[in-house]
Amino acid sequence: MRRFDMRLPAVVRLDQENEFHTETQNVSARGVFFYLDRPLPAGTRCDVTLTFPPHITLTDAVRVRFSARVIRVESPLPSSRVGTAAMIEDYEFLRSTGSTDFLSALQREMKVPN
């Protein structure tokens, strides 16, 4: 599965009270890697909302919310950021005015069987 090095703004939500603003390191059709200021236990469920900018979609910005599960946590970097890998289990497009070609390609890639 191809990973794309993309530093995109992200919002990671664990529940109503726990929401973190961060950025991604990379994104693939099945997962996302981002940084937090604290470790999350493997198995933790979260929602990750990303905005794919126009230079990626070749049209308007497209927001996507992923339902994901933490599968790996890396040791803190010197800056105390904790790398977190999460497997995407489901997704929802929050804005449907983007390019049909981009959305179709992303949907096809994300629905590839394990």
Beta bridge partners of 47: 13, 67
What is the rounded distance in angstroms from the CA atom of residue 20 to the CA atom of residue 80?
Answer: 15
pLDDT at 13 over 80: yes
52-88 pLDDT tens trace: 999 988 888 889 999 999 999 997 667 778 999 999 9
Structural domain of 14: 4-110
How far apart CA 29 and CA 113 sit, in angstroms, is 11
Q: What is the pLDDT of residue 60?
A: 87
On whether the CB atoms of residues 111 and 89 are closer than 8 A, the answer is no
| Global pTM exceeds 0.85 | no
76 phi and psi, to 5 degrees?
-60, 145
| Number of domains into which the chain is organized | 1
CATH label of the domain that carries residue 84: 2.40.10.220
